[in-house]
Structure 1
Amino acid sequence: MSLLKTVQNVSANSRSVGTRYGARIVVAGSTNMDLVAHSERLPARGETLLGGAFATFAGGKGANQAVAAARLGASVTMLGCIGDDDFGVQLRACLHREGIDTAHLHTADGTSSGIAVITVAADGANTIVVAPGANAALAPGHVDAAQDVIGAAGMLICQLEVPLDTVRHAISVAARSGTPVLLNPAPAQPLPDALYRQVDVLVVNETEAHLLTDVPVDGAASAREAAACLRAKGVETVIVTLGAAGVWYSADAEEGHLAAPRVDAIDTTAAGDTFVGGFAAERVRGASIRDALDFGQRAAALSVTRQGAQASIPTQGEVRAAIR
């Protein structure tokens, strides 16, 4: 049952509207440490280059979206796996600092934390190699241990940087409890038809929409076509993000295009994750789909004016101030 239907059909759900709106968001997904090295250009095959600045940043789509939702006003629980290494200690501490509940962030013994090795050239081009590490250890049993939290949540958010079987199980647990599900299918991969029917909100970018529908997406018109294909599979609300061109959305009672705020972007890392977190935070506060989309876009627009992944994510107060 979607958030919209929760408010329209209270008698059909054993929980009152109040326990859904304002309720906790559960994010089931990845945590990574990003290892970023800068160089004048990208190395050729077999070449060693002397690089420049190096930094480590907490990342992973799941953790990014959890941090975004928390900074943008929601109570958040992170469901995931980290390694029993120094990176795992740091990743857990980063989430703690954001006030995120990590009772279901499990430590996988004898396993390294997930990492992304990133080389960034002076012109902004990059290469990325992701080693999933402990993210691959997130299992259906971990979901079962969190089923009471998922069942009482205002929304479950999932991505695809952890095993698909685990994602499917988490979505099934949420669906049985009437907990709305937001799926951001990234990195994109084919999905079973039955999964679409359990998803309330599907957030895809142009590349993901193309892979899932075979519709090349390059603007609002083609995004509308792709969204219609995905809704025909059983998804209640489809959101196609178009970068600087805004978003197209299609739901039961409405559809349309929202332009993105115009900003001077310097780094688009985690902009999509910021959008997801902002949208979800607003929806569990009771905002309409359109208002939640607007808030998510404004949050993402602020994030691209800053460097880094989680470091770029704004707070709820910063977004509200920008709106005024």
Structure 2
Amino acid sequence: MKVAVVGSVNMDVVARVAHVPAPGETLLARSWSRGGGGKGANQAVAAARAAAASVAFIGAVGDDGDGQALRAGLESDGIDVTGLESAEAPTGVALISVGDDGENAIVVVAGANATASPLSPQQTAVVADADVVVAQLEIPVERVLEASRLRRPDALFVLNASPSAPFGDNGVADRLLSACDVLIVNEHELRDVARTTAADLWDAVDAVAERVGAVVVTLGSQGSIVAVGAERRSVAAFPARAVDTTGAGDTYCGVLAARLGARRDGLTIDAVADAARVAGAAAALAVGRHGAQASVPTADEVDDFLKETS
């Protein structure tokens, strides 16, 4: 089973602070670090490391030291980076503050991720060879839509609608929803996609579920909601002590996409709920560790955790 992830890759610069700074507040950090990040690259690492999938990554870095380091990091997880192109723009950077409670604040400078050129022949071949194509919205929407068009007819297209800003345009929203088989969103993104501020979460789930094959709504410590057709199911969260939530959602997305791709029984409620359960276990392990890609557990660790908590 092959997974192609089309998305962003950044160099994360992380400052560890007592709390996430308020507007106008200056804090002294206890420490800082640099490491691989970007929603797309994080999800690729999760699919490869935590779900033991064969993964190829499609994206762009600058011709600079950060780009070289990020490329090497992905390769170290066995990820095919023939689709990781070099752009004239510098490599993307994310500036992250992480508080003692594990919460974070992130500012992303897109850099090479904003490259909007059509997919190259090499990148097109990678997409066409995949059983599952995964994308997010930290890259130009046209590149996401192009990847969805180039996939095989029997391949799943999984969209993590994060950030959800493109859904402010009705035309773009319609094209994105019609392109994807599985939509993964958090509660805030769900309301943006559903174009509602109504208090009832289930109404928003119903509105979106009418338009895509399956919807997965992540709710942090509250677990997740899975919707397939007219069926709904809540999936409980695993207990976790949050040290750093950076990248935990991406771990969830990468594992869920890979688990769905490995099944052959279609997008049933049971299949999606089971994938959500395993993805939740991987995310629970990730929040207990520092970093984005550095926090992603191995497949053996996820299996052991599931056995211990069953």
TM-score (norm 1): 0.84
Q: Deviations over 1:108-135 (max 9, x none)?
A: 13x2100012234556565432110010
Q: Deviations over 1:294-317 (max 9, x none)?
A: 111111111111111111111111
- Partner secondary structure for residue 262 of structure 1: coil
Q: For residue 161 of structure 1, report the CA deviation from its aligned partner.
A: 0.5
Counterpart of 2:214 in structure 1 is: 237
Query: Equivalent of 1:296, from 255, 276, 279?
Result: 279
TM superposition outliers: structure 1 runs of 4+ over 6 Å: none
Counterpart of 1:168 in structure 2 is: 145
| Distance in 2 between residues matched to 1:178 and 1:92, nearest whole Å | 30
Does residue 278 (structure 1) correspond to residue 261 (structure 2)? The answer is no
Question: Contact 2:215 / 2:227 at 8 angstroms: preserved in 1?
Answer: yes
| Distance in 2 between residues matched to 1:103 and 1:274, nearest whole Å | 22
Query: Equivalent of 1:314, from 287, 291, 297?
Result: 297
Counterpart of 1:178 in structure 2 is: 154
TM-score (norm 2): 0.88
Does residue 73 (structure 1) correspond to residue 52 (structure 2)? The answer is yes
Q: For residue 138 of structure 1, report the CA deviation from its aligned partner.
A: 4.6
Q: For residue 196 of structure 1, report the CA deviation from its aligned partner.
A: 1.0
Q: For residue 48 of structure 1, report the CA deviation from its aligned partner.
A: 6.1
Q: For residue 224 of structure 1, report the CA deviation from its aligned partner.
A: 2.8
Q: Which consecutive residues of structure 2, in runs of 5 or more, have no partner in the other structure?
A: 265-270
Counterpart of 2:268 in structure 1 is: none
Question: Contact 1:30 / 1:61 at 8 angstroms: preserved in 2?
Answer: yes
Change (3 A) 1:314 1:153: same
Question: Contact 2:215 / 2:228 at 8 angstroms: preserved in 1?
Answer: yes
Q: Deviations over 1:228-278 (max 9, x none)?
A: 11122x211011111111111111373211111122222211111111111
Does residue 98 (structure 1) correspond to residue 77 (structure 2)? The answer is yes
RMSD: 2.1
| Max Rg structure | 1
| Distance in 2 between residues matched to 1:244 and 1:277, nearest whole Å | 18
Does residue 204 (structure 1) correspond to residue 185 (structure 2)? The answer is yes
Amino acid at match of 2:47: A
Counterpart of 2:95 in structure 1 is: 117
Q: Figure out how many residues of one structure are paired with residues of the other and give that number.
A: 294
- Residue identity (%): 40
- Partner secondary structure for residue 179 of structure 2: coil
Question: Contact 2:145 / 2:179 at 8 angstroms: preserved in 1?
Answer: no
| Distance in 2 between residues matched to 1:49 and 1:259, nearest whole Å | 36
Amino acid at match of 2:227: S
Question: Contact 2:43 / 2:251 at 8 angstroms: preserved in 1?
Answer: yes
Amino acid at match of 1:227: V
Amino acid at match of 1:182: V
